[in-house]
Amino acid sequence: MEALSVDIERKVRALVDAGYYSNKSEVIKNAVISLFRENTELNVTVAIELYKKGSGDCWDDHY
């Protein structure tokens, strides 16, 4: 996985420094959860890919 751009890294750090999140991982986790909530097509794509790989129930991890 590539590193975050300098601009995004600064914004993430600002959110942590402001106390909205306790660490960078929480910011990224929240961003990914929001991404999937906003984009149904991504959920379908992930479900298909997990099914193809035999990952079992692709909805095990509920946010």
Model pLDDT for residues 18-56, shown as the tens digit of each residue: 999 999 999 999 999 999 999 999 989 998 998 898 875
Task: Report angle CA 58, 21, 23 to the nearest 5 degrees.
Answer: 80
Torsion angles phi and psi, residue 58, rounded to 5? -80, 0
**Would you state the pLDDT for residue 7?**
94
Domain boundaries, given as residue ranges, for the chain? 6-52
The larger pLDDT score, comparing residue 32 to residue 1, is at: 32
**Would you state the pLDDT for residue 58?**
55
- Give the predicted TM-score (pTM) of the model: 0.69
